[in-house]
């Protein structure tokens, strides 16, 4: 399978998975928005919330990295700069969710 086809399929799958996770997060964010610190920490300490939020963060960063990578492919002509930009993008798409998940699980 061609690399561009794999990216396209992963982009569509991650986008489809992101919709229910985003709806779940928005509904829960609305319910904890004006609450106290303890209510928010209780929300993030429940195992189901930790799991779903971790999936949401991983999927959101995966989707955004694939999307921004396509922009790099289309608009950056210099291959060296494009490769550096993609590597930085993919590194941040792994490191940022990892740090977030570690901090959430340490609550």
In the chain, pLDDT over 70 holds for what percent of residues?
100
Sign (positive/negative) of CA torsion 100, 105, 106, 107? Answer: positive
Confidence of residue 90 (pLDDT cuts 50, 70, 90): very high
Compute the chain's Rg from CA coordinates.
Answer: 17
Mean pLDDT, residues 2-20? 92
CA dist 44 and 30 (Å) reads 14
For the entire predicted model, the pTM comes to 0.85
Mean pLDDT, residues 74-103? 94
Mean pLDDT, residues 88-106? 92
Spans of all domains in the chain: 3-105
What kind of fold does domain 3-105 have according to CATH?
3 helical TM bundles of succinate and fumarate reductases (1.20.1300)
């Amino acid at each position: 399978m061609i690399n561009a086809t794999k990216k396209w399929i992963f982009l569509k799958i991650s986008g489809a998975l992101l919709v229910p996770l985003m709806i779940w997060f928005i509904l829960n964010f609305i319910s904890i928005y004006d609450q106290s610190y303890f209510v928010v920490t209780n929300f993030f300490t429940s195992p189901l919330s930790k799991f779903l939020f971790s999936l949401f963060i991983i999927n959101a960063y995966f989707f955004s990295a694939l999307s921004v990578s396509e922009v790099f492919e289309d608009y950056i002509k210099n291959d060296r700069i494009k490769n550096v930009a993609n590597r930085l993008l993919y590194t941040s798409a792994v490191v940022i969710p990892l740090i977030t998940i570690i901090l959430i699980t340490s609550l």
